[in-house]
Amino acid sequence: MRYIGLDIHKKFSYAVVKDKEGNILEENRFDNNKEQISQFLINSDPTETKIVMESTGVWEWIYEFLEEKKYNVILANPLRTRAIASAKIEASILSVFILADLLRANLVAQSYVPPKEIRIMRQLARQRKTLVKGRTEISNKIHALLAQQGINFPWATFCKKALLWLNELSKEQIMVKSYLHLRDQFTQEIIKVNNEIFNFAEQDEHAQLLMTIPGIGSRRSVELLAEIGEWDRFPDSSKLCCYAGLVPSIRQSGSTLKFGGLIKQANTSIKYILVETSWNIVRTKESNSLQEFYKKLEKKKGKQKAICATARKLCCVIYAMLRKQQPFMFL
């Protein structure tokens, strides 16, 4: 069996190959292209080779390329793997040699790699966030530019009337015209991504289930599924709540147990969607169990803690919906 530790950089990678006893069979540095990667792996049979790489900004296309060639590839979680390395091996820098040794000892802390379809969904959802953020920055630039010139913007949002007014103003204000053009480009790209997300939601049965929840439409359903990944990888709803960061941190010393704020290492996208959806549910006119739960807790703990607890309860409901393949119902 050959064990390969792969250190991926932006333009090149460095790799080391070890055997079962830890002897170095090969070391190489090569550019990040399919030809040189294939040349490096020419002596490595996919059935007799394991590869480990760290999760970096450019890992995905290399992972997919190795996956297509039927190699057993493990994506290492950088933080957790460093913790294991410092505990098991006296080394301050996690290198390809340590990665290969951790792989031999089966001590690599893996990062979850979702299937190809979910990765595409995740890319779309995150691309939309980037585009919306860019459009917001341009909108803020327009607000600032108008304020600098003493021009009052009479609308709170960029509604149709506001855009018509800005188009008229841009005939005299060159900078406004430039920013307005950029904002229109962002809007067009957002519309394209929205259409792709909508198509995903229409074809995915799990997305259709989530859309039965008040406050979750096609966009949020795809975002949730993309960030959760394969929901059945979680043994129960409490593990999903932990992944979403909706459980309190715990500090224990002897017999003393203290609960703190919500854990920091979590998927903030899932937490945000669940909290926003929970606000929609508790504000509905129709009385429901989640609304009653929120109101009861709000009197004791306040709004913020109550809505986080409601979001956790909603997370458990979503897990049950996906497991039982049943739509959302108010109780």
Task: Give the angle 302-303-306 at the CA atoms, nearest 5°.
Answer: 85
pLDDT range class, residue 286, cuts 50, 70, 90: confident
**How much is the pLDDT for 139?**
94
Q: Say if residue 243 is in the same domain as residue 300.
A: yes
What the block records as the tokens of 252 is 């224990």
* Residues 253, 176 share a domain: no
Examine the pLDDT at 85 and tell me if it is beyond 60: no
The arithmetic mean of pLDDT across residues 236-244, rounded, is: 93
Q: With beta carbons less than 8 A apart as the criterion, state whether 18 and 39 touch.
A: no
At residue 92 the predicted structure's pLDDT band, cuts being 50, 70 and 90, is very low
Above 80 in pLDDT, residue 168? Answer: yes
DSSP 48: G
Structural domain contains residue 51: yes
Percent pLDDT > 70 in the chain is 92
CA end-to-end distance (rounded Å), the chain: 56
State whether 303 and 239 are in the same domain. Answer: yes
Same domain, 235 and 281: yes
Let me know whether 254 and 196 are in one domain.
no
Residue 258 CB contacts under 8 Å (≥ 6 apart), including other chains: 250, 251, 252
At CA 254, angle to CA 251 and CA 258, rounded to 5? 30
pLDDT of 77 reads 81
User: Average of pLDDT values for 109-116?
Assistant: 87
Which of 37-41, 76-80, 163-167, 191-195 is predicted least confidently? 76-80
Query: What single-letter amino acid sits at 57?
Result: G
**pLDDT band at residue 88 using 50, 70 and 90 as cut-offs:** very low
Task: From 203, 235, 263, give the residue that closes a domain.
Answer: 203
Q: State whether 154 and 191 are in the same domain.
A: yes
Q: Is residue 174 part of a domain?
A: yes
pLDDT of residue 98: 84
Q: How confident is the model at residue 89 (pLDDT cuts 50, 70, 90)?
A: very low
Average pLDDT (235-255) is: 83
Domain harbouring 82, CATH code: 3.30.420.40
Residues 27 and 122 in one domain: no
**Residue 231, CB-side half-sphere exposure with 13 Å CA sphere:** 21
pLDDT at residue 87 greater than cutoff 60 = no
Residue 56: pLDDT band (50, 70, 90) is: confident
> Is the per-residue pLDDT at 86 higher than 70?
no
Edge-to-edge strands, sheet with 49-54: 24-31, 12-18, 2-8, 49-54, 72-76
Say if residue 74 is in the same domain as residue 148. Answer: no
Q: Cβ–Cβ contacts within 10 Å for residue 2, how many? A: 18
266 exposed, middle or buried (CB, 10 Å; 0-12, 13-18, 19+)?
A: middle
Q: Name the residue with higher pLDDT: 248 or 120.
A: 120
Both 132 and 175 in one domain: the answer is yes
Single residue among 104, 126, 154 that ends a domain in this structure? 104
Domain annotation covers residue 67: yes
Structure tokens given for 318: 């979503």
Answer yes or no: is pLDDT of 137 > 50. yes
Q: Answer for the pair 314, 246: CB distance below 8 angstroms, yes or no.
A: no
Rg of the chain taking only CA atoms, in angstroms: 25
Model pLDDT for residues 255-275, shown as the tens digit of each residue: 666 667 777 878 889 999 999
Percent of the chain residues past pLDDT 90, beyond the cut: 60
| 224 belongs to a structural domain | yes
Q: Which of 104, 135, 166 is the last residue of a domain?
A: 104
CB atoms closer than 10 angstroms to residue 144: 11
Q: Indicate whether 76 and 130 sit together in one domain.
A: no
Residue 242 CA to residue 217 CA, distance in Å, equals 24
| Residue 110 domain flag | no
Q: Domain containing 170: what range?
A: 116-203
In a domain, 242, yes or no: yes
The answer to whether residues 100 and 7 touch, using CB atoms and an 8 Å cutoff, is no
Cα distance between residue 271 and residue 89, in whole Å: 36
How many independent structural domains does the chain possess?
Answer: 3
Q: Which helix (H) or strand (E) holds 70?
A: none
The helix or strand, by DSSP H or E, that contains position 186, with its residue range, turns out to be helix 174-203
E-strand stretches of 42-105: 49-54, 72-76
Please indicate, yes or no, whether residues 55 and 83 belong to a single structural domain of this protein. Answer: yes
DSSP 168-182: HHTTT-HHHHHHHHH
pLDDT in tens, 171-214: 888 888 999 999 999 999 999 999 999 999 999 999 999 999 98
Instruction: Kindly state whether residues 141 and 224 are assigned to the same domain.
Output: no
pTM of the model: 0.81
Residue 76 within any structural domain of the chain: yes
Is 60 within a domain? yes
Which DSSP state fits 10? S
pLDDT at 91 over 50: no
Cα-flanking dihedrals φ and ψ of residue 262, to 5°? -65, 145
285 band by pLDDT with thresholds 50, 70 and 90: confident
